[in-house]
């Protein structure tokens, strides 16, 4: 029996059940083990102010290390690039849509010059203010349904969500715009599967459900984030994808108010792509990113 650890939200359960179904297709018996995260317990404080790396993953890591579960299922964008000793991301599912969307308030009529939108993400906030400097950005936390409910009980014009989450819970029928100009979080739309490094038998099982192309993109985006020393809450975006034997990559670092943005974009052959994220991060650090990272850390 493979014990699959997951958070309790509807989206987390969707992800865990997707992994469970993939493993059961391989002939394995599985059960879900529900574990609450610190990030789910405190829904008022902004994520960046909570001062904990892996706010949504810490309790699952603990359960894994204490051998209460065999696997931990994560939205990979929530997973710190430096994992606790003994734990590794050993497989990823095929990537969902990586983009962000703006969901409009049900009472939205037209944009006002000082409109407000909701998000708990510094990355989304910075990019929104860069495009709409006169708007206000309000803190929005909670699972998808709670955030949608808060949006529609507010006077905000809209709120920003990951497209993949809304699609997975069949919630994209609501009035929305795809923000194709907004750089997603590294690994957005990717379900990651963690296990203990010592569990070699389980790692062989996971190899059979791993999407290698998605895993390569995740590595490139996460190595970009890690090289910038950016943690999960920093205003950093990255997106890598393969097309016709080429890797396309774009990464960006933003000031908290969106007035500064440093980008790096490149196309490389797929067999030369492994170090793209690290190389791109160094390019950004050399173009003023080092000073900007110091500024961001001093403000958080």
Which residue numbers are catalytic? 78
SS (H, E, C) the chain: CEEEEECCCHHHHHHHHHHHHHHHHCCCCEEEEECCCHHHHCCCCCHHHCCCCCCCCHHHHHHHHCCCCCEEEEEHHHCCCCCCCCEEEEEECCCCCCCEEEEECCCCCCCCCCCEEECCCHHHHHHHHHHCCCCEEECCCCCHHHHHHHHHCCCCCEEEEEHHHHHHCCCCCCCEEEECCCCCCCCCCCEEEEEECCCHHHHHHHHCCCCHHHHHHHHHHHHHHHHCCCCCCCCEEEEEEEECCEEEEEEEEECCCCCCEEEEEEEEEHHHCCCHHHHHHHHHHHHHHHHHHHHHHHHC
Nearest to 83 by CA among 242, 193, 247, 164: 193
Contact call for residues 50 and 40 (beta carbons, < 8 A): no
Nearest to 140 by CA among 102, 192, 187, 108: 102
266 backbone dihedrals φ, ψ, rounded to 5°:
-155, 160
């Amino acid at each position: 029996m493979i014990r699959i650890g997951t958070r309790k939200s509807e989206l987390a359960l969707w992800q865990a059940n997707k992994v469970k179904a993939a493993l059961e297709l391989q002939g394995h018996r599985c059960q879900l083990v529900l574990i609450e995260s610190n990030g789910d317990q405190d829904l008022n404080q902004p994520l960046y102010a909570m001062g904990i790396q892996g706010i949504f993953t810490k309790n699952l890591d603990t359960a894994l290390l204490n051998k209460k579960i065999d696997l931990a299922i994560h939205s990979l964008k929530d997973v710190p690039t430096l994992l606790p000793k003994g734990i590794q991301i050993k497989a990823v599912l095929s990537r969902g849509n990586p983009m962000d969307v703006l969901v409009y308030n049900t009472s939205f009529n037209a944009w006002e010059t000082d409109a407000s939108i909701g998000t708990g993400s510094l990355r989304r906030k910075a990019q929104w203010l860069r495009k709409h400097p006169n708007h206000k950005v309000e803190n929005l936390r909670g699972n998808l349904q709670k955030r949608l409910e808060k949006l529609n009980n507010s006077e905000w014009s809209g709120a920003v969500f990951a497209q993949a989450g809304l699609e997975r819970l069949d919630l994209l029928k609501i009035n929305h715009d795809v923000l194709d100009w907004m750089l997603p979080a590294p690994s957005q739309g990717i379900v990651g599967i963690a296990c203990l490094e010592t569990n070699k038998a389980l790692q062989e099982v996971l190899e059979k459900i791993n999407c290698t192309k998605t895993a390569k993109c995740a590595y490139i985006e996460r190595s970009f984030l890690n090289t910038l020393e950016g943690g999960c809450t920093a205003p950093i975006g990255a997106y890598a994808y393969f097309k016709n034997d080429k890797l396309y990559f774009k990464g960006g670092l933003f000031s908290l108010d969106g007035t500064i943005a440093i980008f790096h974009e490149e196309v490389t052959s797929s067999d030369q792509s492994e170090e793209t994220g690290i190389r791109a991060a160094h390019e950004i650090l050399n173009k003023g990113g080092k000073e900007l990272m110091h500024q961001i850390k001093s403000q958080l």
